[in-house]
Amino acid sequence: MFFIHPYQSGPMATESLFFTDEEQQYIIEAIQEAEKQTSGEVKVHIEKKCPTPDVMERAKEVFLFLHLHETAERNGVLFYLAYEDRKFAVLGDKGIDEKVTANFWDSTKELLRNHFKAGEYKEGLRHGILEAGLQLKKHFPYQSGDINELPDDISFGQ
């Protein structure tokens, strides 16, 4: 698992107050493009504020809530963003951690950080997701007959 920046549990919302419908579609298209290269599953969860003091604890809660730990190869990835708190995390499942080096997510983390610092959240997520797809392809390439185990939508907290 990789911690980028520290996020609380609570009910999940169904819509974003942060991204427009078009921006959400832009991010979803990045998820779909990334997943064409890998058997890995990518999810994005966005909240206004992190309800816990530790962003990684929140990311772990969301990871379980979204069933990312139930993929066949344990190769799910969560991009978590609490935009008002300016916190984010990228969390990979056990199957990824068993195959990659400790600095596996560094390039993804830097892409996100650089875009987020500039206020480019949509672009940051898109580029980070695409980078994750490239990274995952090395260890979990797309296989013929691969099924999409989780929906490619964005989930939202409160």
SS3 state of residue 81: strand
Q: Which residues contact 46 (CB under 8 A, 6 or more apart)?
A: 16, 18, 19, 81, 83, 154, 155, 156, 157
**Ranges of residues in the chain whose predicted pLDDT is under 50:** 1-14
**Euclidean distance between CA atoms 59 and 79, whole angstroms:** 8
pLDDT of the residue at 137: 93
Check whether domain 21-140 has CATH 3.10.310.50, yes or no: yes
Give the helix ranges, DSSP H, for 36-158.
Answer: 55-65, 94-97, 106-117, 121-139
Helix axes 106-117, 121-139, angle to 10 degrees: 170
pLDDT of the residue at 16: 57
pTM of the model: 0.87
Domain boundaries, the chain: 21-140
pLDDT of the residue at 103: 83
Write phi, then psi, for 133 (nearest 5 degrees). Answer: -60, -45
Note whether 3 and 92 are within 8 A (CB).
Answer: no
Q: What is the strand order of the sheet 154-157 is part of? A: 12-13, 154-157, 41-47, 76-82, 87-92
